[in-house]
Chains A and B, each alone.
Chain A
Amino acid sequence: MAMSQLQKIAQGLRKVGVGAGRAADRVESSGRDLAKLRSRVSDRRLSAAVRSAGLSSRLASVESLLDQAVAQSRSTAQALAQVDEGSARWVGQLVAAGAKDDRVSPAQQRQMEKWAQRSGAEADAREKQQLEMVDAIFSPYASAAAALATAAFPPLLPLTSGFALLGTSKGMASLLLSGRDFLRARGRSRNDERVAVHGMDHAGADVLAGLAENAFQAFTGVDMTGAVGVSADVLHRVRAGLLRGRRTKPTAD
């Protein structure tokens, strides 16, 4: 392949990556807004008023749709990030091919390496945003669970100690499951380059999967409009792990 052609393709691929990255950023941003709105819908005061009017099932339907919308946003952002990362890898391969090609001048080689480096910085920025998105989703639940765990909550259900009732949170279980999927997917995509983050993701995903299973088991057959029990301690640990992960430096490249 002629150098000019190689360089053009690399440049074009970077445009693809930048376009996909920009779209991923916008999707993540709207996903964060959706997640914030989702937590407002589950506000305790609003839930109580809706329950008093006998309209809980309608609110549960809204919560379910919003959970699905948030999950869709997340998978969209992941698909776009994959395109960005795929294009960066491809550029990297072209750079490597160019290095073996006598027709590539040092200046052209440096230019292509610059594109490859920039895509790495963009991926780091996106990872930070993804962690913020996860935090935005789980933070209100962790706080709500802690508040409920310390409150003198009437013994409505024979819950084991350490478990607290978390409002009309049918969506909590699906959020936990979508959080698990998110962390697993990101763990996979980071496997090669971010061992520390990858491990943290998988540990978090396992905890979230366990929580979701417990939540379903605890309330099987109990008509509480899908209320689920969660351990405030465990949720706090998940959140703390995520925050630690944000500060964790990659241990291997």
Chain B
Amino acid sequence: MSRPANGPDAAELMRCAEEVRALSRELRRLARVATAPQVDVDRTSSELARWVGGDDTRFREMRSALDEAGSALGRSGGLAESAASLLADLDRALVAAADAARRQQASAEHARRR
């Protein structure tokens, strides 16, 4: 079945939808991986408090950097999760667009035969 001039290609849209689906799955996995180092950060923070502490400037700087790293890890994972959700939406929208394109192509083919 040929596609109408300038119209989206249903088969290509479906291929892209599959690719977007795969990207979404992979991104969800990456989002989990992105937050995993939190364990190391927490352990490091405990070690720091164990060995040094108080009013020492160096201790405060390192503790602050660790806190910032912990927060940034959470933000990074959250952003990746949000992007994965958007990709899942895009996947569904592409499938819907492919269906619409298929219907349009069928209709055009039907009109041409008549």
Interface residues of A (CB under 8 A from B): 8-9, 12-13, 15-16, 19-20, 22-23, 26-27, 30-31, 33-34, 37, 40-41, 45-46, 49-50, 52-55, 58-59, 61-62, 65-66, 68-69, 72-73, 75-76, 79-80, 82-83, 86-87, 90
Interface assignment of B12: CB less than 8 Å from any CB of chain A: yes
Interface residues of B (CB under 8 A from A): 7-9, 12-13, 15-16, 19-20, 23, 26-27, 30, 33-34, 36-37, 40-41, 43-44, 47-48, 50-52, 58, 61-62, 65-66, 68-69, 72-73, 75-76, 79-80, 82-83, 86-87, 89-90, 93-94, 97, 101
* Minimum C-beta distance from A101 to chain B (A): 18
Q: Give the tally of cross-chain contacts (CB within 8 A).
A: 152
- A80, closest chain B residue (CB): B69
Given that A27-B73, A34-B30, A37-B30 are known contacts, is A59 also in contact with B90, CB under 8 Å in the complex?
A: yes
Query: When the two chains form their complex, are residues B58 and A73 in contact, meaning their CB atoms are under 8 A apart?
Result: no
Chain A residues positioned under 8 Å from B44 (CB to CB): 16, 19-20, 23, 83
Of A19, A33, A73, A82, the contact of B47 (CB 8 Å cutoff): A19
Of B37, B58, B79, which is in contact with the most chain A CB atoms at under 10 Å from its CB?
Answer: B37
Chain A residues positioned under 8 Å from B61 (CB to CB): 86
- A13, closest chain B residue (CB): B51
Inter-chain CA distance A90–B47, complex, in Å, is 15
Query: When the two chains form their complex, are residues B66 and A83 in contact, meaning their CB atoms are under 8 A apart?
Result: yes
Given that A8-B51, A66-B83 are known contacts, is A52 also in contact with B8, CB under 8 Å in the complex?
A: yes
Of B8, B12, B41, B97, which is in contact with the most chain A CB atoms at under 10 Å from its CB?
Answer: B41
Query: When the two chains form their complex, are residues B30 and A23 in contact, meaning their CB atoms are under 8 A apart?
Result: no
Inter-chain CA distance A50–B93, complex, in Å, is 9
Query: When the two chains form their complex, are residues B50 and A12 in contact, meaning their CB atoms are under 8 A apart?
Result: yes
Inter-chain CA distance A45–B15, complex, in Å, is 10
Query: When the two chains form their complex, are residues A19 and B73 in contact, meaning their CB atoms are under 8 A apart?
Result: no
Query: When the two chains form their complex, are residues B94 and A55 in contact, meaning their CB atoms are under 8 A apart?
Result: yes
Query: When the two chains form their complex, are residues A76 and B93 in contact, meaning their CB atoms are under 8 A apart?
Result: no
* Minimum C-beta distance from A39 to chain B (A): 11
Inter-chain CA distance A73–B80, complex, in Å, is 11
Given that A49-B12, A73-B76 are known contacts, is A79 also in contact with B90, CB under 8 Å in the complex?
A: no
Query: When the two chains form their complex, are residues A9 and B52 in contact, meaning their CB atoms are under 8 A apart?
Result: yes
Of B13, B58, B76, B97, the contact of A69 (CB 8 Å cutoff): B76
Given that A61-B86, A69-B34 are known contacts, is A16 also in contact with B51, CB under 8 Å in the complex?
A: yes
Query: When the two chains form their complex, are residues A72 and B23 in contact, meaning their CB atoms are under 8 A apart?
Result: no
Chain B residues positioned under 8 Å from A90 (CB to CB): 58
Chain B residues positioned under 8 Å from A20 (CB to CB): 40-41, 44, 66, 69
* Minimum C-beta distance from A89 to chain B (A): 8
- B41, closest chain A residue (CB): A23
Inter-chain CA distance A31–B44, complex, in Å, is 20
